[in-house]
C-alpha cells in the first residue's frame, strides 16, 4: 500500500517529538513524558523514518533542530495549544478559571506572591497557578497564559514590567557593635558573601565580581562565599544573618521597608537586565488574562 502523505503519525509519537523539540534534550523529554531516554530516542527515530527526513542534528551532548524539525515543531506546538484551548472552553461550567503563569523563583517568592492576595481579592472566581523555574517555557505548548521573564532590556520582548538596580544588603544584626565593620566596599573582605550560581544561557550571573567591576573596584577576597541555585534562597540566607547579598531592587524592596535587610554600603548600580510580561497570543483574548496583565503593570508602577 503506497504511503499516504496526509496520514498522521501516531499522536503519542508527535507528543514525544514536541517535548524533545522544546527541551532540545531526549533526557528532559523523557522525564516530562515519563519514559526512558532510549524510548524517546526510538520514538523520534521512528518518526524520522516515517517522514523520510532528519528532524534533529545530533551534536556532542546537544540536539539541534533541522529546518524540517523546526517547521514540524512549530506546527505541533500550535496544534497542542489549540487542543488545550478547546479543552478549557468545554470544561464543565462553574469551574473556577485558572491562569497559569511562569516566572523565575526569585520574582515569584520575593515580588509576586506577597502581592497576589490583592489580585485574588479583586477577581473572585479566578485562581493563579505559578510555575517558578529558570527554564523558558513554551507558553502554548506547555499550557501557560503568560510569562514574566528576566532578560536584558535591549533584547527583551513583551511588555516592560520594571528594570533593576543592584546594591549590597545584609541583616541589621551584622551591623551590631562588635561586629566587623561594614561601611565601605573594602570592608566586604571581612564578611561572607552570598551569591546565586551562574545559569548557562541566562545572561551574566548575579555575582560579586561583576558588581566590583561595575563600581570601578578591584577584586576583593571575602572571608567565605555561599552559593545558591536560587536567588530567593540567597536572600533568605542574608535575612538570617549568614552574610551579605547583592540585592536586586525592586525584588527586595519589601524586605528593605521591613528592615529585614539594610544597605550598609551606598552605591546602587543600575543593571542592564529587567523583567517583561509575555502573553501567549491566544490567551490574550481572555478577560482574566487582560486583568492580570493590567494588575501586574499597576503593581510595578506603584513600587
Cα angle vertex 217, ends 212, 221, to 5°?
65
Assigned CATH for 95-161+275-302: 3.40.190.10
pLDDT (0 to 100) of residue 91: 63
Is the four-CA dihedral 215, 220, 224, 227 of positive or negative sign?
Answer: positive
Which position has the higher pLDDT, 15 or 303? 15
Percent pLDDT > 90 in the chain is 56
Pairing outcome for strands 126-132 and 224-228: unpaired
Assigned CATH for 11-89: 1.10.10.10
Cell numbers describing residue 30: 523523557
Which position has the higher pLDDT, 213 or 207? 213
Residue 277: phi, psi to the nearest 5? Answer: -105, 120
For residue range 160-188, what is the model confidence (pLDDT) as tens digits? 999 999 999 999 999 999 999 999 988 99
pTM reported for the whole predicted model:
0.68
4 falls in which pLDDT band (50, 70, 90)?
A: low
For residue range 118-127, what is the model confidence (pLDDT) as tens digits? 999 999 889 9
pLDDT (0 to 100) of residue 204: 39
The residues, any chain, with a CB within 8 Å of residue 149's CB and separated by 6 or more, are 103, 104, 136, 156, 158, 275, 276, 278
93 falls in which pLDDT band (50, 70, 90)?
A: low
Reduce the secondary structure of 96-157 to three states and give it as a string. Answer: CEEEEEEECHHHHHHHHHHHHHHHHHHCCCEEEEEEECCCCCCHHHHCCCEEEEEEECCCCC
Long-range contacts of 9-15 (CB under 8 A, 24+ apart): 9/47, 9/50, 9/51, 12/43, 13/43, 13/46, 13/47, 14/47, 14/76, 15/80
Give me the residues paired with residue 196 across strands: 228
pLDDT (0 to 100) of residue 3: 59
For residue range 12-39, what is the model confidence (pLDDT) as tens digits? 899 999 989 998 999 888 887 878 889 9
- Assess contact for 133 and 105: CB atoms under 8 A: yes
259 falls in which pLDDT band (50, 70, 90)?
A: very high
Provide the mean pLDDT of the chain.
Answer: 87
Cell numbers describing residue 299: 503593581
3-state secondary structure of 169: strand
The residues, any chain, with a CB within 8 Å of residue 152's CB and separated by 6 or more, are 203, 272, 273
pLDDT (0 to 100) of residue 1: 39
pLDDT (0 to 100) of residue 214: 79
* Domain residue ranges of the chain, discontinuous segments joined by +: 11-89, 95-161+275-302, 164-270
- Cα distance from N-terminal residue to C-terminal residue, the chain: 67
Q: What superfamily would CATH give domain 164-270?
A: Periplasmic binding protein-like II (3.40.190.10)
- Assess contact for 63 and 57: CB atoms under 8 A: yes
Q: Does the pLDDT value for residue 261 go beyond 80?
A: yes
Same fold, 11-89 and 95-161+275-302: no
User: Rounded mean pLDDT of 261-279?
Assistant: 88
User: Rounded mean pLDDT of 204-210?
Assistant: 64
Alpha-carbon span 196 to 226, nearest angstrom:
8
Amino acid at each position: 500500500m503506497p504511503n499516504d502523505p496526509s496520514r498522521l503519525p501516531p499522536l503519542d509519537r508527535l507528543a514525544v517529538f514536541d517535548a524533545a523539540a522544546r527541551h532540545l534534550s531526549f533526557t528532559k523529554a523523557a522525564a516530562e513524558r515519563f519514559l526512558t531516554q532510549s524510548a524517546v530516542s526510538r520514538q523520534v527515530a521512528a518518526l524520522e523514518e516515517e517522514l523520510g527526513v532528519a528532524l534533529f542534528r545530533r551534536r556532542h551532548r546537544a540536539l539541534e533542530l533541522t529546518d524540517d524539525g523546526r517547521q514540524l515543531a512549530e506546527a505541533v506546538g500550535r496544534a497542542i495549544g489549540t487542543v488545550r484551548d478547546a479543552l478549557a472552553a468545554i470544561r464543565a461550567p462553574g469551574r473556577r478559571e485558572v491562569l497559569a503563569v511562569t516566572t523565575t523563583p526569585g520574582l515569584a517568592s520575593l515580588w509576586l506572591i506577597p502581592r497576589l492576595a490583592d489580585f485574588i481579592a479583586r477577581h473572585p472566581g479566578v485562581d493563579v497557578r505559578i510555575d517558578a523555574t529558570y527554564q523558558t517555557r513554551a507558553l502554548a505548548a506547555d499550557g501557560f497564559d503568560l510569562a514574566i521573564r528576566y532578560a536584558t532590556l535591549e533584547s527583551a520582548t513583551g511588555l516592560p514590567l520594571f528594570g533593576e538596580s543592584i546594591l549590597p544588603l545584609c541583616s541589621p544584626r551584622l551591623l551590631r557593635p562588635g561586629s566587623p565593620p561594614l561601611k565601605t566596599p573594602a570592608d566586604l573582605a571581612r564578611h561572607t558573601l552570598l551569591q546565586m550560581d551562574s545559569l548557562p544561557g541566562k545572561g551574566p550571573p548575579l555575582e560579586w565580581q561583576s558588581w566590583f567591576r561595575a563600581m570601578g573596584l578591584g577584586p576583593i577576597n571575602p572571608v567565605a562565599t555561599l552559593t545558591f541555585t536560587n536567588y530567593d534562597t540567597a536572600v533568605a540566607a542574608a535575612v538570617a544573618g549568614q552574610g551579605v547579598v547583592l540585592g536586586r531592587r525592586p525584588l527586595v524592596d519589601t524586605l528593605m521597608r521591613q528592615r529585614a535587610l539594610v544597605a550598609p554600603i551606598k552605591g546602587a548600580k543600575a543593571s542592564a537586565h529587567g523583567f517583561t510580561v509575555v502573553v501567549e497570543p491566544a490567551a490574550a483574548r481572555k478577560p482574566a488574562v487582560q486583568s492580570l496583565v493590567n494588575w501586574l503593570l499597576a503593581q510595578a508602577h506603584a513600587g
